[in-house]
Amino acid sequence: MAPKRARTIDRSSTVPTADSSRGTAARPRLTDRAMEEEYTRLLGKPILKERGFLPSGRDGELPPMIAEKGWIAFCESPEAVLMSVVREFYANAKVEKNGFSVVRGLTVDYHPAAIRRVIGQRDRKPKKENWNEKTAEDFDLDLICATLCRSGTVWTFKTGTNEYRHFPAIAMNRYARAWNAFICANILPSSHAHEVTVERAQLLWGILNEEYYVDLGEFIYQGILKFLRGAKHMNIPYASTVTKLCRAVGVNWPAHEQLQLPVAPINSGTLNGMQEWTGGEPEEHGLGYCLPGGRPARGATMARPRHDEAGSSRAQEGAGMADTQYRRLSQRMDAMYETQSRFAQELTLALVTAFRGLEADIQWPFFGEDSAYPPPDTPPTEGDDDDDSE
């Protein structure tokens, strides 16, 4: 009979009590009973994984569009986040609710201006309208649907009312679908990327129209407040931004504390796996197609991009894959990498503890107790495969 699988212990799911100098996680600074209770509640909530948006020069005007908005830093692949720090931030912020939190004894400002600084967003240009100041009445939802989606796509309404609900994401052109996936991961966290809600459609319209300035700092700030006000159905959002806010004020943490890795970025491979319309080419900024009137041709159908024009599968990840297949493969690779990283992390911690007990001075070849984790990719050097044992 095969042995039972050992139970994996999430080190972030318990409040550590040991001294951090002895190789264990640092104790969260929870200043009162309410914060301790909130931290304990958050231990049962997953932390949403964010993803980067890294199109290449083969993806039309997407790269210049990101650069023009000043979102290059925000669209980079997010770093691994420290789970205990993120939970401590939200536990303390839940009680204060004044735009500040306390993490490891340091005050963390999460007002819009502070968020804009850490994500690298530029100030609004004078000629651009501020999207955040718009109201629902300023948007023509039927026009948004008709411009972004193939002909014949309509909104779904709430039963028995005229209230708009959503339209299918698969009906949009792939530029808009890529932005929708990025929005669901980083701006308006949602696990329902297959349906475009009214709020997300309005934000998508603001992003794709170059005359608008979308204040991400304000948007993320409001999202944090929404979570703090008790949105029980939400998982913990904006972990990468929270980590950057904490680092900006000097919050430090041991290299061995448990990290959560991001998912694979949205890149040329992801875009190549998305369905495309026939009968037109994408406009410069991804709004519809260069057809008369700027709308898709009536009766336009969905078709796969030609893979012989898109480049070899080696040049573009996932070439020829369906979007669902590529997403599942990416999730499996993420899970494998996370498992391997956690094993290396726990093995290193065990070795550190063992060698400390022996009072042995060990020179770590790649990373050590005080080094950044995960370690950078290190190319093999000549002689790496040699057996030094006699």
Chain segment 139-186, per-residue pLDDT in tens? 899 988 888 888 788 899 988 888 999 999 888 877 888 899 999 999
In a domain, 163, yes or no: yes
In a domain, 15, yes or no: no
In a domain, 366, yes or no: no
In a domain, 220, yes or no: yes
In a domain, 384, yes or no: no
Which range among 117-121, 288-292, 374-378 has the greatest average pLDDT? Answer: 117-121
In a domain, 144, yes or no: yes
Residue in the block written with tokens 């500040």: 100
In a domain, 17, yes or no: no
CA distance 353 to 347: 10
Q: Which two tokens stand for residue 105?
A: 């004894």
Which range among 165-169, 273-277, 321-325, 381-385 has the greatest average pLDDT? Answer: 165-169
Query: Quick one: residue 259, left, alpha or beta (phi over 0 = left, psi -120 to 50 = alpha)?
Result: beta
In a domain, 378, yes or no: no
Gyration radius of the chain over CA positions: 24
At 218-228, the pLDDT tens digits run 999 999 999 99
Q: Is 18 exposed, middle or buried (0-12, 13-18, 19+ CB in 10 A)?
A: exposed
Is the Cβ–Cβ distance between 47 and 234 less than 8 Å?
no
Q: Which two tokens stand for residue 205?
A: 């319209």
pLDDT band at 325 (very low <50, low <70, confident <90, very high): low
Count of structural domains within the chain: 1
Structural domain for 225, as ranges: 24-356
Q: Which run of H or of E encompasses 196?
A: strand 195-197
CA distance 185 to 237: 9
3-state helix, strand, coil in the chain (%, to 5): 40, 10, 50
Backbone angles phi, psi at 101, to 5 degrees: -135, 170
Backbone angles phi, psi at 137, to 5 degrees: -70, -15
Q: Is the pLDDT of residue 240 over 90?
A: yes
